[in-house]
Amino acid sequence: MSKAVNIHEAKTHFSKLLERVALGEEIIIARAGEPIARLSPLSPRRARIPGGAEGFEVPDSFFEPLPDNILKAFKS
């Protein structure tokens, strides 16, 4: 359920309003009774699962020195 608060109340009690939003409540901010903004909780982020590079191998050529023409481009 949404609760409307005026701008002054929102400025005065912003941290408390954010606590309520973090608990899942939606807050509508109004100016002169006219809704102008909505504070709502973000959807929770999914936890990252390590992996995804199974079977990937770095070729031996990766560790070879770069050719001179490429090295010169880095020194310029």
Q: Examine residue 15 and state whether it is found in any structural domain, yes or no.
A: yes
CATH number at residue 35: 3.40.1620.10
- Residue 52 has a pLDDT of 86
Q: Examine residue 62 and state whether it is found in any structural domain, yes or no.
A: no
Q: Return mean pLDDT, the chain.
A: 91
Rounded CA separation 7/28 (Å): 10
Q: Examine residue 12 and state whether it is found in any structural domain, yes or no.
A: yes
Residue count of the chain? 76
Segment 56-68, tens digit of pLDDT: 999 999 999 999 9
Q: Examine residue 16 and state whether it is found in any structural domain, yes or no.
A: yes
- The residues with which 5 forms a beta bridge, in sequence order, are 29
Segment 25-52, tens digit of pLDDT: 999 999 999 999 999 998 877 888 888 8
The band of 17, judged by pLDDT with boundaries at 50, 70 and 90, is: very high
The total domain count for the chain is: 1
